Protein backbone atom coordinates (compact mmCIF):
# COMPACT_ATOMS: atom_id res chain seq x y z
CA UNK A 1 0.00 0.00 0.00
CA UNK A 2 1.25 3.45 -0.86
CA UNK A 3 2.04 5.68 2.07
CA UNK A 4 1.05 9.25 1.78
CA UNK A 5 2.40 12.04 3.95
CA UNK A 6 1.70 15.56 2.99
CA UNK A 7 1.28 18.39 5.42
CA UNK A 8 -0.94 20.09 2.95
CA UNK A 9 -1.81 23.33 4.67
CA UNK A 10 0.29 26.01 6.36
CA UNK A 11 0.13 26.07 10.20
CA UNK A 12 -2.48 28.84 10.51
CA UNK A 13 -4.91 26.99 8.27
CA UNK A 14 -4.12 23.77 10.15
CA UNK A 15 -5.30 25.03 13.53
CA UNK A 16 -8.71 26.13 12.25
CA UNK A 17 -8.71 23.17 9.88
CA UNK A 18 -8.53 20.61 12.65
CA UNK A 19 -12.04 21.31 13.91
CA UNK A 20 -13.39 21.47 10.39
CA UNK A 21 -11.66 18.16 9.68
CA UNK A 22 -13.36 16.41 12.57
CA UNK A 23 -16.77 17.79 11.67
CA UNK A 24 -16.28 16.43 8.13
CA UNK A 25 -15.14 13.01 9.30
CA UNK A 26 -17.62 12.45 12.12
CA UNK A 27 -20.76 11.72 10.04
CA UNK A 28 -19.02 8.84 8.20
CA UNK A 29 -17.27 7.70 11.37
CA UNK A 30 -20.60 7.80 13.20
CA UNK A 31 -22.38 5.83 10.49
CA UNK A 32 -19.73 3.12 10.47
CA UNK A 33 -19.69 3.05 14.27
CA UNK A 34 -23.43 2.39 14.43
CA UNK A 35 -23.77 0.12 11.40
CA UNK A 36 -20.43 -1.66 11.43
CA UNK A 37 -18.42 -1.52 14.65
CA UNK A 38 -21.32 -1.84 17.10
CA UNK A 39 -22.74 -4.80 15.12
CA UNK A 40 -19.30 -6.47 15.25
CA UNK A 41 -19.23 -5.94 19.02
CA UNK A 42 -22.68 -7.48 19.28
CA UNK A 43 -21.45 -10.55 17.35
CA UNK A 44 -18.59 -10.79 19.83
CA UNK A 45 -20.94 -10.48 22.82
CA UNK A 46 -23.49 -12.94 21.43
CA UNK A 47 -20.75 -15.51 20.83
CA UNK A 48 -20.63 -15.91 24.63
CA UNK A 49 -24.41 -16.15 25.01
CA UNK A 50 -26.67 -19.21 24.82
CA UNK A 51 -29.39 -20.19 22.40
CA UNK A 52 -32.98 -19.77 23.55
CA UNK A 53 -35.49 -22.58 23.18
CA UNK A 54 -37.00 -21.10 20.01
CA UNK A 55 -33.85 -19.49 18.64
CA UNK A 56 -33.08 -16.04 19.95
CA UNK A 57 -30.49 -15.17 22.54
CA UNK A 58 -30.20 -15.90 26.26
CA UNK A 59 -27.55 -13.61 27.74
CA UNK A 60 -24.96 -15.63 29.65
CA UNK A 61 -21.21 -15.62 29.80
CA UNK A 62 -19.94 -18.99 28.71
CA UNK A 63 -17.38 -20.43 26.37
CA UNK A 64 -19.70 -23.27 25.37
CA UNK A 65 -20.00 -22.04 21.77
CA UNK A 66 -16.26 -21.95 21.31
CA UNK A 67 -15.90 -25.36 22.92
CA UNK A 68 -18.62 -26.65 20.58
CA UNK A 69 -16.47 -25.50 17.67
CA UNK A 70 -13.89 -28.11 18.69
CA UNK A 71 -16.31 -30.79 17.48
CA UNK A 72 -14.64 -32.75 14.64
CA UNK A 73 -17.48 -31.85 12.26
CA UNK A 74 -16.72 -28.14 12.56
CA UNK A 75 -12.99 -28.81 12.60
CA UNK A 76 -13.34 -30.58 9.27
CA UNK A 77 -15.23 -27.64 7.74
CA UNK A 78 -12.66 -25.13 9.01
CA UNK A 79 -9.81 -27.24 7.69
CA UNK A 80 -11.61 -27.75 4.39
CA UNK A 81 -12.17 -23.98 4.04
CA UNK A 82 -8.50 -23.28 4.66
CA UNK A 83 -7.57 -25.98 2.11
CA UNK A 84 -10.02 -24.60 -0.49
CA UNK A 85 -8.75 -21.06 0.04
CA UNK A 86 -5.11 -22.16 -0.17
CA UNK A 87 -5.68 -24.24 -3.32
CA UNK A 88 -7.65 -21.41 -4.95
CA UNK A 89 -4.85 -18.96 -4.10
CA UNK A 90 -2.30 -21.31 -5.65
CA UNK A 91 -4.51 -21.71 -8.73
CA UNK A 92 -4.89 -17.96 -9.12
CA UNK A 93 -1.14 -17.53 -8.77
CA UNK A 94 -0.43 -20.19 -11.41
CA UNK A 95 -2.88 -18.61 -13.88
CA UNK A 96 -2.27 -15.01 -12.87
CA UNK A 97 1.52 -14.91 -13.00
CA UNK A 98 1.95 -15.60 -16.74
CA UNK A 99 -0.94 -13.26 -17.52
CA UNK A 100 0.49 -10.44 -15.37
CA UNK A 101 3.94 -10.98 -16.89
CA UNK A 102 2.45 -10.87 -20.39
CA UNK A 103 0.63 -7.60 -19.65
CA UNK A 104 3.73 -6.07 -18.03
CA UNK A 105 5.71 -6.76 -21.21
CA UNK A 106 3.15 -5.16 -23.52
CA UNK A 107 3.68 -1.63 -24.89
CA UNK A 108 2.44 0.94 -22.34
CA UNK A 109 -0.65 1.91 -24.35
CA UNK A 110 -1.99 -1.63 -24.57
CA UNK A 111 -1.39 -2.43 -20.89
CA UNK A 112 -4.28 -0.19 -19.85
CA UNK A 113 -6.70 -1.94 -22.21
CA UNK A 114 -5.73 -5.36 -20.88
CA UNK A 115 -6.11 -4.23 -17.27
CA UNK A 116 -9.62 -2.94 -17.99
CA UNK A 117 -10.39 -6.24 -19.75
CA UNK A 118 -9.30 -8.12 -16.62
CA UNK A 119 -11.42 -5.87 -14.37
CA UNK A 120 -14.67 -6.06 -16.35
CA UNK A 121 -15.62 -9.65 -15.44
CA UNK A 122 -14.81 -8.81 -11.84
CA UNK A 123 -17.47 -6.10 -11.88
CA UNK A 124 -20.05 -8.52 -13.23
CA UNK A 125 -22.46 -9.82 -10.61
CA UNK A 126 -20.78 -12.62 -8.65
CA UNK A 127 -23.99 -14.69 -8.53
CA UNK A 128 -24.28 -14.43 -12.30
CA UNK A 129 -20.67 -15.50 -12.85
CA UNK A 130 -21.14 -18.47 -10.55
CA UNK A 131 -24.41 -19.39 -12.24
CA UNK A 132 -22.55 -19.36 -15.59
CA UNK A 133 -20.45 -22.27 -14.34
CA UNK A 134 -23.56 -24.13 -13.14
CA UNK A 135 -24.94 -23.73 -16.65
CA UNK A 136 -21.73 -25.10 -18.19
CA UNK A 137 -20.90 -27.87 -15.73
CA UNK A 138 -24.28 -29.47 -14.93
CA UNK A 139 -25.15 -32.92 -16.22
CA UNK A 140 -27.17 -31.55 -19.18
CA UNK A 141 -24.80 -28.59 -19.50
CA UNK A 142 -22.57 -27.38 -22.26
CA UNK A 143 -19.50 -29.34 -21.15
CA UNK A 144 -21.22 -32.71 -20.95
CA UNK A 145 -23.26 -32.30 -24.13
CA UNK A 146 -20.15 -31.21 -26.06
CA UNK A 147 -18.11 -34.14 -24.77
CA UNK A 148 -20.96 -36.51 -25.60
CA UNK A 149 -21.29 -35.14 -29.11
CA UNK A 150 -17.57 -35.56 -29.63
CA UNK A 151 -18.01 -39.17 -28.51
CA UNK A 152 -15.50 -38.75 -25.69
CA UNK A 153 -17.97 -39.87 -23.04
CA UNK A 154 -21.16 -41.94 -23.18
CA UNK A 155 -22.94 -40.83 -20.02
CA UNK A 156 -22.63 -37.37 -18.45
CA UNK A 157 -19.77 -37.04 -15.98
CA UNK A 158 -20.45 -35.47 -12.61
CA UNK A 159 -18.61 -32.14 -12.44
CA UNK A 160 -21.10 -29.79 -10.83
CA UNK A 161 -21.60 -30.25 -7.07
CA UNK A 162 -18.05 -31.45 -6.52
CA UNK A 163 -15.04 -29.98 -4.70
CA UNK A 164 -13.40 -29.45 -8.08
CA UNK A 165 -16.28 -27.21 -9.18
CA UNK A 166 -15.95 -25.13 -5.99
CA UNK A 167 -12.22 -24.72 -6.60
CA UNK A 168 -12.83 -23.73 -10.21
CA UNK A 169 -15.47 -21.20 -9.12
CA UNK A 170 -13.16 -19.67 -6.52
CA UNK A 171 -10.23 -19.37 -8.94
CA UNK A 172 -12.54 -17.89 -11.56
CA UNK A 173 -14.11 -15.46 -9.13
CA UNK A 174 -10.96 -14.04 -7.59
CA UNK A 175 -8.35 -14.24 -10.39
CA UNK A 176 -8.47 -10.46 -11.06
CA UNK A 177 -7.46 -9.84 -7.41
CA UNK A 178 -4.26 -11.76 -8.11
CA UNK A 179 -3.44 -10.31 -11.52
CA UNK A 180 -3.58 -6.63 -10.55
CA UNK A 181 -0.98 -6.58 -7.73
CA UNK A 182 1.23 -9.03 -9.67
CA UNK A 183 1.12 -6.71 -12.65
CA UNK A 184 2.04 -3.69 -10.50
CA UNK A 185 5.09 -5.55 -9.14
CA UNK A 186 6.21 -7.04 -12.48
CA UNK A 187 5.76 -3.81 -14.37
CA UNK A 188 8.27 -2.08 -12.09
CA UNK A 189 11.05 -4.58 -12.82
CA UNK A 190 13.80 -3.06 -14.91
CA UNK A 191 13.87 -5.06 -18.16
CA UNK A 192 17.63 -4.57 -18.48
CA UNK A 193 18.14 -6.82 -15.42
CA UNK A 194 16.54 -9.67 -17.34
CA UNK A 195 18.49 -8.87 -20.51
CA UNK A 196 21.72 -8.87 -18.50
CA UNK A 197 20.91 -12.30 -17.07
CA UNK A 198 20.11 -13.62 -20.55
CA UNK A 199 23.39 -12.20 -21.84
CA UNK A 200 25.14 -14.15 -19.11
CA UNK A 201 23.46 -17.33 -20.41
CA UNK A 202 20.89 -17.69 -17.65
CA UNK A 203 18.18 -20.17 -18.65
CA UNK A 204 14.57 -18.99 -18.71
CA UNK A 205 13.97 -20.95 -15.52
CA UNK A 206 16.95 -19.26 -13.85
CA UNK A 207 15.65 -15.83 -14.88
CA UNK A 208 12.25 -16.69 -13.40
CA UNK A 209 13.66 -18.23 -10.24
CA UNK A 210 16.46 -15.76 -9.51
CA UNK A 211 15.11 -12.45 -10.87
CA UNK A 212 11.36 -12.33 -11.52
CA UNK A 213 10.28 -14.26 -8.44
CA UNK A 214 12.29 -12.30 -5.83
CA UNK A 215 11.50 -8.92 -7.40
CA UNK A 216 7.80 -9.72 -7.76
CA UNK A 217 7.52 -10.97 -4.18
CA UNK A 218 5.60 -7.97 -2.77
CA UNK A 219 3.04 -8.38 -5.57
CA UNK A 220 2.80 -12.12 -4.98
CA UNK A 221 2.21 -11.64 -1.26
CA UNK A 222 -0.39 -8.91 -1.83
CA UNK A 223 -2.20 -10.95 -4.50
CA UNK A 224 -2.25 -14.07 -2.32
CA UNK A 225 -3.76 -12.16 0.61
CA UNK A 226 -6.35 -10.48 -1.61
CA UNK A 227 -7.46 -13.87 -2.95
CA UNK A 228 -7.11 -15.89 0.25
CA UNK A 229 -9.29 -13.65 2.44
CA UNK A 230 -12.48 -13.60 0.34
CA UNK A 231 -12.03 -17.29 -0.52
CA UNK A 232 -11.90 -18.16 3.16
CA UNK A 233 -15.23 -16.42 3.77
CA UNK A 234 -16.80 -17.64 0.52
CA UNK A 235 -20.50 -18.44 0.61
CA UNK A 236 -21.98 -18.23 -2.89
CA UNK A 237 -19.41 -20.45 -4.63
CA UNK A 238 -19.66 -23.51 -2.35
CA UNK A 239 -23.40 -22.95 -1.98
CA UNK A 240 -24.09 -23.10 -5.71
CA UNK A 241 -21.26 -25.23 -7.11
CA UNK A 242 -20.44 -27.51 -4.18
CA UNK A 243 -21.90 -30.81 -3.10
CA UNK A 244 -23.27 -31.65 0.33
CA UNK A 245 -19.76 -32.24 1.63
CA UNK A 246 -18.10 -29.16 0.08
CA UNK A 247 -19.34 -26.92 2.89
CA UNK A 248 -17.16 -23.97 3.88
CA UNK A 249 -17.18 -21.68 6.93
CA UNK A 250 -19.46 -19.20 5.15
CA UNK A 251 -22.08 -21.88 4.53
CA UNK A 252 -21.83 -23.08 8.09
CA UNK A 253 -22.37 -19.53 9.41
CA UNK A 254 -25.37 -19.04 7.15
CA UNK A 255 -26.73 -22.45 8.20
CA UNK A 256 -26.40 -21.67 11.91
CA UNK A 257 -27.95 -18.22 11.53
CA UNK A 258 -30.81 -18.78 9.11
CA UNK A 259 -31.58 -22.52 9.27
CA UNK A 260 -30.74 -23.75 12.77
CA UNK A 261 -31.17 -20.23 14.21
CA UNK A 262 -28.39 -20.86 16.71
CA UNK A 263 -27.15 -17.28 16.70
CA UNK A 264 -24.64 -17.68 19.54
CA UNK A 265 -22.89 -20.55 17.77
CA UNK A 266 -23.07 -18.69 14.44
CA UNK A 267 -21.51 -15.68 16.15
CA UNK A 268 -18.66 -17.75 17.57
CA UNK A 269 -18.07 -19.14 14.05
CA UNK A 270 -18.07 -15.63 12.54
CA UNK A 271 -15.68 -14.44 15.17
CA UNK A 272 -13.21 -17.26 14.53
CA UNK A 273 -13.45 -16.51 10.80
CA UNK A 274 -12.65 -12.88 11.51
CA UNK A 275 -9.66 -13.89 13.64
CA UNK A 276 -8.35 -16.02 10.75
CA UNK A 277 -8.75 -13.07 8.37
CA UNK A 278 -7.08 -10.62 10.76
CA UNK A 279 -4.30 -13.19 11.26
CA UNK A 280 -3.76 -13.41 7.51
CA UNK A 281 -3.69 -9.61 7.30
CA UNK A 282 -1.16 -9.36 10.15
CA UNK A 283 1.02 -11.90 8.36
CA UNK A 284 0.76 -9.79 5.22
CA UNK A 285 1.78 -6.57 6.95
CA UNK A 286 4.70 -8.30 8.68
CA UNK A 287 5.93 -9.72 5.37
CA UNK A 288 5.46 -6.36 3.70
CA UNK A 289 7.44 -4.60 6.44
CA UNK A 290 10.18 -7.22 6.13
CA UNK A 291 10.27 -6.84 2.36
CA UNK A 292 10.47 -3.06 2.60
CA UNK A 293 13.23 -3.48 5.20
CA UNK A 294 15.15 -5.74 2.83
CA UNK A 295 14.63 -3.26 0.02
CA UNK A 296 16.21 -0.51 2.12
CA UNK A 297 19.10 -2.75 3.16
CA UNK A 298 19.99 -3.69 -0.41
Partner 1 sequence: MKSGTVWLRSTGIATLLFLYLPIIVLVVFSFNASRLSAQWQGFTWDWYRLLARDASLHAATANSLVVAVISTVLATGLGLAASMGLERLPGSRARHVLEGALLLPLIIPEIMMGVALLLFFVTVKIPLSLTTVILGHTAFNVPVVMVIVRARLRKLDPRLEEAAYDLGASPWQAFRRITWPLLRPGVLGAGLMALTISLDDFIVTFFTAGPGSTTLPLKVYSMIKSGVSPEINALSAILVVLSMGLVALSLALQRR
Give, as ranges, the residues between 250 and 289 that touch partner 1 (CB under 8 A). Answer: 250, 253-254, 257-258, 263, 266-267, 270, 273-274, 277, 281
Q: Is 59 in the site for partner 1 (CB under 8 A)?
A: no
Q: Which is nearer to partner 1, 135 or 294 (CB)?
A: 135
- Using the rule CB under 8 A, which residue among 17, 87, 158, 162 binds partner 1? 17
Q: Do residues 242 and 258 lie in contact, with contact meaning Cβ atoms separated by under 8 Å?
A: no
Rule CB under 8 A: is residue 191 a binding residue for partner 1?
no
Q: Is 202 in the site for partner 1 (CB under 8 A)?
A: no
The DSSP result for the chain, as a single string, is --------S-HHHHHHHHHHHHHHHHHHHHHHIIIIIHHHHHHHHHTTSEE-TTSSEE-----HHHHHTTSHHHHHHHHHHHHHHHHHHHHHHHHHHHHHHHHHHS-HHHHHHHHHHHHHHHTS-HHHHHHHHHHHHSTTSHHHHHHHHTTS-SS----TTSHHHHHHHHHHHHHHHHHHHHHHHHHHS-HHHHHHHHHTT--HHHHIIIIIHHHTHHHHHHHHHHHHHHHHT--HHHHHH--TT---HHHHHHIIIIIS--HHHHHHHHHHHHHHHHHHHHHHHHHHHHHHHHHHH-
Nearer CB in complex with partner 1: 181/230: 230
- What minimum distance in Å lies between the beta carbon of 129 and partner 1? 7
State the burial class of residue 268 (Cβ atoms within 10 Å of its Cβ: 0-12, 13-18, 19+). buried
- The pattern of x and - marking residues 204 through 243 that bind partner 1 according to CB under 8 A reads x------------------------xx-xx-xx---x---
**Which of 48, 172, 183, 228 is in the footprint of partner 1 by CB under 8 A?**
172
Q: Which of residues 118-157 bind partner 1 (CB under 8 A)?
A: 118-121, 123-129, 131-136, 138, 140-142, 144-145, 149
Phi, psi of 144 (to 5 degrees): -65, -40
We find the least distance from the C-beta atom of residue 19 to partner 1, in angstroms, to be: 10
Q: Does 58 bind partner 1 (CB under 8 A)?
A: no
- Of residues 39 and 294, the one with the C-beta less far from partner 1: 39
Least distance between partner 1 and beta carbon 296 (Å):
20
CB-nearer residue toward partner 1: 106 or 294: 106
Size of site (CB under 8 A) for partner 1: 92
Q: Which position among 50, 103, 167, 185 is part of the footprint of partner 1 (CB under 8 A)?
A: 103
- Asked if 66 touches partner 1 (CB under 8 A), the answer is no
Q: Is 113 a residue that touches partner 1 (CB under 8 A)? A: no
User: Looking only at residues 28 through 57 of this chain, which bind partner 1 when binding is defined by CB under 8 A?
Assistant: 28-29, 31-32, 35-40, 42-43, 46
Residue 149 and residue 194: Cα distance in Å, rounded? Answer: 47
Amino acid sequence: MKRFDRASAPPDVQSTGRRAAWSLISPAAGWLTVFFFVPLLIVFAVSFAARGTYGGIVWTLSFTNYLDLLHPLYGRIFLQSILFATAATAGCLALGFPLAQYIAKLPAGRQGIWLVLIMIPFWTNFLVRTYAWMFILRAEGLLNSTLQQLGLIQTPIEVLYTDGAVLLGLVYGYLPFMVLPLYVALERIDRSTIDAARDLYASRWAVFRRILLPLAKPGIVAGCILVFIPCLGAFITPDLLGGARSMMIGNLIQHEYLVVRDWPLGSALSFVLMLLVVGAMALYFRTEAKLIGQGRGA
